[in-house]
Chains A and B, each alone.
Chain A
Amino acid sequence: MGASQGLNMNKVHMMNKVQIRHLGKVFDGGKPVTALENINLDIRDNEFVTLVGASGCGKSTLLRILGGLEYRSSGELDSNGQPVNGPGADRAMVFQHYSLYPWLTVMENIKFSRKLRAKRGDMSSADVEAASGRADALLRLIGLSSAAHAYPNQLSGGMQQRVAIARALMSRPAILLMDEPFGALDAQTREVMHDLILHVHRIEKTTIVFVTHDVEEAIYLGQRVVLMAPRPGRIDTIYDVPLPARREQDMKHAPEFLAMKKQILARIRDTSGMATDGDLLERLNLQAAA
């Protein structure tokens, strides 16, 4: 990449880490399905954005397109000033589960990306040393220093996800993409993970895009909450979260938090296309009364 070209790109996208313009996704098959239609979204550097919405709204598809695991059918997508045309080490992803390598220890999992770079032969011994230091630091960051040599199947689900986060951070990605990473964890573990990921966000200064179906999680973690709607998948509303930058568990009981939660839940219900839910409840109530 030429220096002048790089400079230009930086100028244009100075503020935006991710820039999405008129993005669309159609799944071809017997009958083509429009998964995403006309998505426009800018994500700033070091921002924490959460995506919520009813199932089928395409939030995971959008995240997977950002990660380069799916391909957009139309529109433009820039990440870090470069058009996205496939997966890359600048965009790391954390999955819901089963993404750790069970044959590697915690430490070896975290260093996995280094194994890839080292193979390409562009790593000096100083780099190797720095990498070891970084792996140790990440292990401390996620509070698992004592489990460095354990295998994933010896860890709890929450610990496994912490390792997955550390592994994704190892290569200092510009953007961390998280696809319902705490969806399979119990409520208590999830609360711990929330504060951990916020801590990671502060320390590592990464940009985070986080997909969840849990509205409370979306508000607590996100600086902005992007609400998506299904059929076709689209962005419905973008909410600025009116909470201080530094979140604390108590804020979940603040009136503005609860008001926003109520508002978003109502909007999800309205856009989900499942209007029959209300009718059904009413009928059950009538039956119970009779």
Chain B
Amino acid sequence: MSAPPNRAPRPPGIWTIAGSLGRRQYWMFAALGLFSPLLLWSVLAASGLIDPVFLPSPAMVARRVLTWLTEDDLLADTGISIYRVSAGFLLSAVLALPLGLLIGSFRPVAAMLEPLTDFIRYMPAVAFIPLIMLWVGIDESAKISVIFIGTFFQMLLMVAEDVRRTPRAQIEAAHTMGATRYEIIKLVLLPSAKPALLDTLRVTMGWAWTYLVVAELVAANSGLGYSILKAQRFLKTDTIFAGIILIGLIGLVMDQGFRWLHRRLFPWAQARA
């Protein structure tokens, strides 16, 4: 019986469960994931099997973006949409952060507000539109209100949960060092929750964008969402594609911005080097 040669085993590959991936490999797979749908789309459109009304080619969409930019003021549409989303999102954040901090810190506040919030967050934001028009009117604040309703209640619960995830020993250590309640909130709960809070903002920012089209249902005459809705009426699928892709791109950029901010602000929260 001959023993197998005792060679050094090959290290486990990238397909190991919960394995690791190098930086270059990561970008390779990311590019693969991003470009294969584009390729598939090009092939399908070029094959001529599908009517361009249903599926315009990437080139048609690109041309559409260009004419939108040069003739139809794409920048104004993008600007106003970014403004609406940001305003609704910021309004949510300004209210959800302190309120969520209180819910996460004090049980009575949690008992009072959490079941209520759970109740409201299941209500469809779209269904509030008639009420919003009645209460707020049809100007910019109405569009911002829709985005606010769509994000605030989810954000509130997530902020509360972020605060509650502070390890008990961190709070108790502060207690035994003589910290007051205010000091514990300011010096322990808040800094402990900060990285998770930034992640919550990143995720809810994405949700705010998904409410844009709904928001621009309300008597809008500009904006990316409005352009998509208008294009629907005239069956201009290339514009619909262009609008959807532009919203996706803006979202991607903002998401990466939040991730970059996370790495910059919280080096201590990154995985051990």
Residues of B within 8 A of A177 (CB): 176
How many residues of B sit at the interface, in one of the four size bands? 20 to 34
- The 8 A CB mask of A60-94 against B (1 = contact, 0 = none) is 00000001110000000000000000011101110
**Bound CA–CA A154/B194 (angstroms):** 19
Q: How many A-B residue pairs have CB under 8 A?
A: 78
Measured between beta carbons, the chain B residues less than 8 angstroms from A101 are: 170, 188, 191-192
A103-B266, A103-B269 as given contacts; A112 in contact with B177, CB under 8 Å: yes
Asked if B187 is an interface residue, CB under 8 A from chain A, the answer is: yes
Contacts of B170 in A (CB 8 A): 98-101
Whether B179 is near chain A, meaning CB under 8 Å from some CB there, is yes
> Is A1 located at the chain interface by the 8 A CB criterion?
no
Q: Is B175 an interface residue (CB 8 A)?
A: yes
Question: A212 within 8 Å of B by Cβ?
Answer: no
State the CA gap A93–B173 with chains docked (Å): 7
Binary flags per residue of B146-176, CB closer than 8 Å to A gives 1, else 0: 0000000000000000000001011011111
Contact B178 A113 (CB under 8 A): yes
Assess whether A153 is interfacial by the CB under 8 Å rule.
yes
Q: Please tell me if the beta carbons of B169 and A87 are within 8 angstroms of each other in the complex.
A: no
| Residues of A in contact, count (CB < 8 Å) | 33
Known: A151-B268, A154-B272. A103 touches B179 (CB 8 A): no
A99 touches B269 (CB 8 A): no
- Is B183 engaged at the interface, CB distance under 8 Å to the other chain? yes
Contacts of B175 in A (CB 8 A): 68-69, 87
Report if A289 contacts B (CB, 8 A): no
Could you say which of B169, B180, B273 contacts A99, with CB atoms under 8 Å apart?
B169
Main secondary structure of the interface of B (DSSP, over half): helix
B272: A residues at CB distance < 8 A: 153-154
Cβ contacts under 8 Å, A93 to chain B: 172-173, 176
**Which residues from B are CB-within-8-Å of A153?**
268, 272
Closest chain B residue to A154, Cβ basis = B272
Can you list, as one digit per residue, whether each of A151-175 has a CB less than 8 Å from chain B (1) or not (0)?
1111000000000100110010000
A95 within 8 A of B: yes
* Beta-carbon contact of A89 and B178 below 8 Å: yes
* Interchain CB contact under 8 A, B177 and A98: no
CA distance A102 to B273 in the complex (A): 15
Closest CB in chain B relative to A207 CB, distance in Å: 15
CA distance A285 to B86 in the complex (A): 72
Judge whether A98 and B268 touch: CB under 8 Å: no
Q: Mark each residue of chain B from 250 to 273: 1 if its CB lies under 8 Å from any CB of chain A, else 0.
A: 000000000000000011110011
Contact A68 B269 (CB under 8 A): no
Residue positions of B touching A, CB distance < 8 A: 167, 169-170, 172-180, 183, 187-188, 191-192, 194, 266-269, 272-273
Pairs A–B under 8 Å by Cβ, sample size 7:
A87-B178, A89-B178, A95-B169, A99-B172, A101-B192, A102-B268, A167-B177
Given A67-B176, A116-B178, 9 other A-B contacts at CB below 8 A? A68-B175, A92-B177, A93-B172, A98-B167, A101-B188, A112-B174, A113-B177, A116-B179, A171-B177
